[in-house]
Structures are given as C-alpha cells and as structure tokens.
Amino acid sequence: MNATHDLPQTPPELSFPSRLPNVGTTIFTVMSALAAQKGVVNLDQGFPDFDCDARIVDAVATAMRDGHNQYPPMAGAAPLRQAISRKIDALYGRHYDADREITVTAGATQALLTAILCCVHPGDEVIVIEPMYDSYVPSIELAGGKPVFVSLEAPDYARCR
C-alpha cells in the first residue's frame, strides 16, 4: 500500500463569483460601527437598547412547545395576514384581502427585493430617485435591470437636477 494514497486529498478552492461585485459595505455596517465607536444609541437598524419583554419570550416558548414551529405558507400565516388586514382597515379605512393582497416578508429589504425581482426584467430601465435606500440598485441589477438615477435637491427635495 502506498502511503501517499492514504492521505486525505486537499479539496480544490471553490469559487463563487458574485453577481453583485460592486456592492461594498452597506450604510448600516458603517453607521453601526460609528455608533459603537462614539458610544451613542444606534437607530439605523432598529437595535433596541433594552431587553425583549419577558412575556414575549414566554409566549414564543409556549408557541414552540405547542407545535407552532413549522414553515408558514409562502404568503405568511393566515391569522397574521388577517390581523394585518384588520389593522390597515382600522388605521387607514382601507380594506385589503388577506388571501390575495397581503404577503408577509422577513423584512423591508426582502420585500423590496421580492417586488423588484417580480416586476423588473432583464434590460428594463428603472428610475431610482436619489437620495435612496442602498438596496435598490443591487436589487435592480440582480434582476437584470438598468438603474436610471434622478437626483432631488435639498432642502425640500421637490425639484430634479
């Protein structure tokens, strides 16, 4: 037996080229680091400076023990979508059908990406109003679209340059 054949082979380096090679550090990373450096309250991503209410933690633990720990339907759990529909109606007097018009997402950035991927096709031009949220352009590019920038002027941001 040849001893060299018994040694584990080193796997080749895997390479996964980015589809978004120009995306750098997000503003959230920059602001979080700056807040930590300066010792100030970080408001940029909803980082609370207090613990979660113990009743919420207990309710989550109870729900998990009761078997509410499976993936929801793609649009979100029906009771949550129904509650969202009722809240929108109560707050704004607008009714949305919970089964056809409300989708629950993991957050605003995911909702924006999903909407852009749904609507933007390769080669589409998409107007991007500046200043903007930093996920718009990468999402448009991921969908194959071309961002077209329109800058608004301070202080009232009513006129285009």
Element containing residue 151 per DSSP (H, E):
strand 146-151
Alpha carbon distance 52, 114 (integer Å): 29
Give residue 25's pLDDT: 78
Rounded to the nearest 5°, which phi and psi values hold at 130? -100, 140
Question: In 3-state terms, what secondary structure has residue 117?
Answer: helix
Quick one: which of 130, 139, 136 has its CA closest to 160?
A: 130
Q: What is the pLDDT of residues 16-56, one digit of tens each?
A: 788 877 877 777 788 888 888 998 887 777 777 788 899 99
Radius of gyration of the chain, Cα coordinates, nearest whole angstrom: 23
Give residue 3's pLDDT: 57
Q: What is the pLDDT of residues 132-141, one digit of tens each?
A: 888 899 999 9
Q: Are strands 146-151 and 125-130 parallel, antiparallel or unpaired?
A: parallel
The dihedral through the CA atoms of 97, 101, 105, 111 has a sign that is: negative
